[in-house]
């Protein structure tokens, strides 16, 4: 996967209090509410980190939220865990990702996902995890993510997974 290149007027920053979240509308209420009401608090409590796609001078065009987590080995596909201990296993959650409606359909969603993958990959060299998991807010979001090698978690149709092994191949290829 190639390094993410953003047009000049865009940058990626960690969410801060000064960023104007009120005008963000992705078309999916839960995605907007997370950014507006909960993302900053969760970050302050060190539960997750939200990075925004900022369009100069102060418009949030998109965002994603990453968190560390754990899942029981028996919730992951057999192929992934067959050589792993039968315990809780470390994962990263891509908890949220969204583009403001004004910026959808221009390839920014794909770039934002690639940026989130790159963050996960960098982290994975210092803090190991076995997979990236994500919960799809809508069926449409699931269709979008399934374009990018995520597979469904057995028994959890709205949760998708990308193994570290596959992520590593994608980032190295």
Ligand X SMILES: CC(C)(COP(=O)(O)OP(=O)(O)OC[C@H]1O[C@@H](n2cnc3c(N)ncnc32)[C@H](O)[C@@H]1OP(=O)(O)O)[C@@H](O)C(=O)NCCC(=O)NCCS
Is 68 a binder of ligand X (CB under 6 A)? no
Is 66 a binder of ligand X (CB under 6 A)? no
Tell which positions 17-46 bind ligand X, by CB under 6 A: 26-28, 31
Scored b (16 or more CB within 10 A) or e, 88-111 reads ebebbbbbbbbbbeebeeeebbeb
- Both tokens of residue 40? 């900053």
The residue range among 6-14, 73-81, 92-100, 121-129 that interacts with ligand X, by the rule CB under 6 A, is: 92-100
Closer residue to ligand X in complex, CB, 55/108: 108
Is 110 a binder of ligand X (CB under 6 A)? yes
Is 147 a binder of ligand X (CB under 6 A)? yes
Is 10 a binder of ligand X (CB under 6 A)? no
Q: At what angle do helices 164-172 and 108-124 cross, to 10 degrees?
A: 110
3-state per-residue secondary structure call for 41-96: HHHHCCCCEEEEEEECCCEEEEEEEEEEEEEEHHHCCHHHHCCCCCCEEEEEEEEE
Distance CA 35, CA 29 (A): 10
Closer residue to ligand X in complex, CB, 81/117: 117
The residue range among 67-75, 77-85, 142-150, 162-170 that interacts with ligand X, by the rule CB under 6 A, is: 142-150
Q: Rounded to the nearest whole angstrom, what is the least distance from the CB of residue 93 to ligand X in the complex?
A: 11
| Contact residues for ligand X, defined by CB under 6 A | 26-28, 31, 96-99, 104-110, 136-138, 140-141, 143-144, 147
């Amino acid at each position: 996967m190639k390094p993410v290149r953003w047009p000049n007027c865009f940058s990626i920053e960690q969410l801060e209090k000064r960023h104007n979240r009120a005008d963000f509308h992705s078309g999916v209420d839960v995605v907007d509410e997370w950014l507006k009401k909960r993302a900053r608090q969760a970050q302050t409590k060190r539960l997750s980190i939200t990075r925004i796609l900022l369009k100069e001078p102060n418009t949030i065009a998109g965002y994603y939220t990453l968190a560390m987590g754990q899942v029981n080995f028996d919730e992951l596909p057999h192929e992934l865990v067959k050589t792993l201990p039968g315990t809780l296993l470390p994962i990263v959650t891509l908890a949220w990702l969204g583009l403001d409606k004004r910026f959808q359909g221009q390839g920014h969603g794909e770039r934002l996902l690639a940026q989130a993958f790159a963050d996960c990959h960098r982290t994975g060299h210092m803090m190991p995890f076995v997979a990236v998991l994500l919960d799809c807010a809508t069926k449409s979001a699931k269709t979008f993510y399934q374009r990018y090698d995520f597979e469904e978690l057995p028994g959890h149709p709205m949760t998708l997974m990308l193994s570290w092994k596959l992520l590593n191949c994608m980032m190295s290829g």
